[in-house]
Amino acid sequence: MRIRLSDHFSYAKLLRFVFPSIIMMVFTSIYSVVDGLFVSNFAGKTAFAAVNLIMPVLMGLGAIGFLIGTGGSALVSKTLGEKRREDANRYFSMLILVTVAAGLTFTILGLIFLRPVAAALGAEGQMLRDCVLYGRILLTFQTAFMLQCAFQSFLAAAEKPKLGLFFTVAAGLTNIVLDALFVGVFRWGIAGAAAATVISQLVGGVLPIFYFARPNDSLLRLHWAKPELAILLKVSANGSSELMTNLSASVVNILYNFQLMHFAGENGVAAYGVIMYVNFIFSAVYFGYAIGAAPVISYHYGAAGWQELKNLFRKSICITALFGAVMLISSELLAIPLSELFVGYDRELCTITRHGFQIYALSFLISGFNVFSSAFFTALNNGAVSALISFLRTLVFQTAAILILPVLLEMDGIWFAIVAAELLALGVSCFFFLKMKARYHYL
């Protein structure tokens, strides 16, 4: 039976509704994980470090897709809750066209500045050549990546999370199969990994256009729409937290790599890459839940359904706590086997990776609450609070921690930085949950 945004949500129904979005995000994160796994084992440590050095830059350029998807789907869902379906479809169509235009623009700018940026990050020699090769291939198809990020949110708003799951699983499987073929069999190295990624992004980012462009049974339909500056500004303000999250993550990852190059050289960057791959998957669960639940929260906020809003808030906090406990236990148990899987060919690198991962994993117990708090206020169309939480969590607290803690704890300070930042952010999240309860009636 189809679950509608207007329904009352039990734990079972809420989990069934958000599950496709969680799997979508997990499969999206698998792109870079699979690339890293094959590159590390078949192309070597230098190529693996190159991918991890340039990836934050590429992800930062794609952040507009997340902004439009999260900020836009919150506005579209709220508009649907207000029974203005024609306006919702106009907003949706315009935002997809804006995503295409932004993707083409970033492709051009990225290709121009890629080499000097990679060199500024410390890449040289073969590592620099690998960064440029991998980056150029991905940047050429930047639009597909940004569309995929946007459609992840809009498919949930259209009451089609299972279709979103289909597109993402198809893209993820495409990436896995082609990585095995291009890197493992044909031995095309870093170029093969990049080619596998962009082909899979075409599956996840372009195919949804054909679905929404034709008559369908979802809440949304794609058609030509003129840009509306007021709507774009509203979406930008509302989705600014997700933009901040992704941009800040790119900046912070660059800082991590810089510190690790200082303390451990190429081995440090490679070890951090392994930890980030696992972090991508675990964090994807939190972000997937937030993406899946956000349209429901926005709908009931638009419909003034205060009792259901309370129900959604309380259940979400409980589910997030359960996810955090499971992830912490799982990550501590998997630290050794995952380190062996990625870098078992180098004992020193494997030891660094295992130790760092066991410390970094402590953050999984806390981070889900901070991800949900930011997404929750985005869903309530309060971009200012959402952006402030994200800004403090992903940029201010992490930047301070990554610069200060290594001075006190040396290499371990780098791994503990994320834990300290998440604890500080949790305090901010709790503050705003209490401060805003009277305004939004979720407590």
Residue written as tokens 């810089």? 258
Please state the pTM of the whole predicted model.
Answer: 0.72
Q: Residue 124 has what DSSP assignment? A: -
CA atoms within 13 A on the CB side of 202: 12
Q: Among 398, 400, 417, 399, which residue's Cα sits nearest to residue 409?
A: 417
- 343-374 b/e (C-beta count within 10 Å ≥ 16 → b): bbebeebbebbbbbbbbbbbbbbbbbbbbbbb
The pLDDT score that the predictor gives to residue 123 is 83
Q: Could you give the CA distance from residue 321 to residue 87 in angstroms, rounded to a whole number?
A: 37
- The answer to the question of residue 43 being in a domain is yes
Q: Are 298 and 386 in contact (CB under 8 A)?
A: no
Q: Are 421 and 371 in contact (CB under 8 A)?
A: no
Q: Could you give the CA distance from residue 389 to residue 277 in angstroms, rounded to a whole number?
A: 24
Walk along the chain (443 residues) and give the pLDDT tens digit of each residue: 678 888 888 999 999 989 888 887 887 777 667 777 788 888 888 888 888 888 888 888 888 888 898 889 889 988 998 989 999 999 999 999 999 999 999 999 999 999 999 998 888 889 899 999 999 999 999 999 999 989 988 998 898 888 988 898 898 889 889 999 999 999 999 999 999 999 999 999 999 999 999 999 999 999 999 989 999 998 888 777 667 777 777 788 888 888 887 787 778 878 888 888 778 888 889 988 998 898 899 999 988 889 999 999 999 999 999 999 999 999 888 888 888 888 878 788 888 889 888 999 999 999 999 999 999 998 898 888 988 998 898 889 999 999 999 999 988 999 999 999 999 999 999 999 999 998 998 98
- The answer to the question of residue 5 being in a domain is no
- The answer to the question of residue 52 being in a domain is yes
- The answer to the question of residue 20 being in a domain is yes
The pLDDT score that the predictor gives to residue 31 is 65
- The answer to the question of residue 6 being in a domain is no
- The answer to the question of residue 1 being in a domain is no
The pLDDT score that the predictor gives to residue 183 is 92
The pLDDT score that the predictor gives to residue 149 is 87
Q: Residue 20 has what DSSP assignment? A: H
Structural domain range at position 411: 11-440
Q: Are 117 and 57 in contact (CB under 8 A)?
A: yes
Q: Exposed, middle or buried by CB within 10 Å (0-12, 13-18, 19+), for 249?
A: buried
- The answer to the question of residue 4 being in a domain is no
- The answer to the question of residue 97 being in a domain is yes
The pLDDT score that the predictor gives to residue 424 is 97
The pLDDT score that the predictor gives to residue 1 is 62
Residue written as tokens 């699979």? 34
Domain count, the chain: 1
Q: Write the DSSP string, 160-199.
A: -HHHHHHHHHHHHHHHHHHHIIIIIIS--HHHHHHHHHHH
Q: Among 9, 119, 99, which residue's Cα sits nearest to residue 54?
A: 119
